[in-house]
Amino acid sequence: MRIALVNDMPLVVALLRRVVESVPGYKVAWVALDGDEAVRQASADKPDVILMDLIMPVMDGAEATRRIMAKSACAILIVTASVRTNHAKVYEALGAGGLDAVRTPSLGSNNSIVGAEPLLARLAKFAELRKHTGTTGLTHLFPSLGPATSGASPMLAIGASTGGPDAVAKVLAGLGGTPGPIVVVQHLGAAFAPGFADWLGARIGLPTQVVRTGDRLEAGRVYVAASDDHLVVTNRRNLAYTPDPKEYPYRPSVDVFFQSARLHWPDGGVAVLLTGMGSDGASGLLSLRRAGWHTIAQDQATSVVYGMPKAAADLGAAVEILGLPAIPAAIRAKWKAKAGT
């Protein structure tokens, strides 16, 4: 796997090179010292993955990510020294097309590298995603635990990956409220989920929280998956996490959540699959459509990466395929029709 390094600090570049080259089959494709140079290098020689710093001279990592995804799209992992200080830039970069984010490794005692494991885990996941091109039926993973609790309100279930943070925010900001709970499954490392929930809540004006096992779904609230395990809804209207399926490369998986919602949310609702690399969510969206949910996939023109919604369109999983600006109105119209007003 060819990996490019974008960072203006020679010491960090050297550390990242050591981390990358510690794995057989990984090699450094090129190095850029600022975002502008990265855009030019990516156009001339597209790597498999770019490790992108955020705070750099000339052009920051968020803007570089946006330009690379527009001209020469590839997997971009945001590598930042401080999540707390840079959290707004982190989610800006993820909204522009970054796949995930991780803290920058540092130099420890005896010239050892501290904090390389999360970075290597993300790179291994990207390598696996490159091989995973099909969709997977997951219905067998959720045997019914008995009758679902009655009296539920319609759920809005949203799945997203590459470019998802900004797309999710735009959809939810356009709703003007919700008659039921909203659950967001965004491909994002667990360490970054709390910051994402805070960032999202500030943009959409709705109560937003990360999911903790046992949380009861309530109307008018937004719940954000916050684990490297998979999020599921139980037959008791609670949320929980499960490590299974362990072999599934998308974590948390949109497919896994959609399938659990089909089985355990009695009032149905609306499911939306937004921009993202790969195919996660497509088979789950089809399952929801067959169960009577209203399903929507984002169109190619407004997707940062037309992977997940394309897979859904190819399966016939979406009742509607819409540009991002049209999705909030479509959701409101469905809620209005369901309410009989």
Amino acid letter for position 192: F
Looking at the structure, tell me whether residues 179 and 307 fall in a common domain.
yes
What pLDDT is attached to residue 149? 40
Nearest to 234 by CA among 259, 270, 210: 259
* Model-wide pTM > 0.75: yes
pLDDT number for residue 173: 96
Question: Cis bond leading into 252, ω under 30°?
Answer: yes
The pLDDT value recorded for residue 341 is 46
Q: Are residues 155 and 217 in contact, defined by beta-carbon separation less than 8 angstroms?
A: yes
Q: Are residues 195 and 121 in the same domain?
A: no
Average pLDDT over residues 113-138: 74
Give 150-185 pLDDT, tens digit per residue: 445 899 999 999 999 999 999 999 998 889 999 999
Which is the catalytic residue, given 60, 87, 100, 161?
Answer: 161
Answer with the one of 80, 106, 131 that is the final residue of a domain. Answer: 131
Measure Cα distances from 294 to 72, 181, 333, 340 in Å. Answer: 34, 15, 11, 16
Contact assessment for residue 271 and residue 63, using Cβ atoms and an 8 Å cutoff: no
Q: Which helix (H) or strand (E) holds 185?
A: strand 182-186
- Say yes or no to pLDDT of 135 above 70: no
Alpha helices in 154-253 (DSSP H): 164-173, 193-204
The two tokens of residue 278 are 């790969």
Tell me the mean pLDDT in the region 68-81: 89
Q: Indicate if the pLDDT at residue 147 is higher than 50.
A: no
Distance in angstroms (rounded) separating the CA atoms of residues 247 and 151: 35
The catalytic residue among 255, 280, 294, 299 is 280
Residues 228 and 126 in one domain: no
Residue 246 is given by DSSP the state: T
Instruction: Return the pLDDT at 337.
Output: 80
Q: State the DSSP H helix or E strand holding residue 196, giving kind and residue range, or none if neither.
A: helix 193-204
Kindly state whether residues 97 and 172 are assigned to the same domain: no
**Cα–Cα distance, 302 to 275 (Å, whole number):** 8
**Cα separation of 79 and 184, whole Å?**
24
Looking at the fold, whether 243 and 192 belong to one and the same domain comes out as yes
Domains: count for the chain: 2
| pLDDT tens-digit readout, 18-32 | 999 999 999 999 999
Mean pLDDT for the chain overall: 88
Question: H/E/C letters for each residue in 272-316?
Answer: EECCECCCCCHHHHHHHHHCCCEEEEECCCCCCCECHHHHHHHHC
Task: Kindly state the tokens that stand for 318.
Answer: 């979406």
Active site residue 280: yes
Do 49 and 165 share a domain, yes or no? Answer: no
Q: Give the pLDDT mean for 243-256.
A: 87
For residues 176 and 313, membership in a common domain is answered with yes
**Residue 251, domain extent:** 139-339
The pLDDT confidence band at residue 104, using thresholds 50, 70 and 90, is very high
Q: Which amino acid is located at 215 in the chain?
A: D
Cβ 182 vs Cβ 304: under 8 Å: no
| 108 contact partners, CB below 8 Å, separation of at least 6 | 114
Q: Is the pLDDT of residue 142 over 50?
A: no
Do residues 144 and 291 share a domain? Answer: yes
Residue where a domain terminates, one of 131, 154, 178? 131
169 compared with 143, residue with greater pLDDT: 169
Q: Which of 53, 60, 166, 187 is catalytic?
A: 187
- Shared-domain flag, residues 84 and 200: no
Q: How far apart are CA 28 and CA 277, in angstroms?
A: 23
Residue 161 annotated among the catalytic residues of the structure: yes
pLDDT at position 293: 95
Clarify whether residues 231 and 158 are in a common domain: yes
Last residue of a domain, one of 97, 131, 165: 131
Rounded to an integer, the average pLDDT of 274-303 is 95
Q: Are 187 and 164 in contact (CB under 8 A)?
A: yes
**Are 52 and 159 contained in the same domain?**
no
Residues 158 and 93 in one domain: no
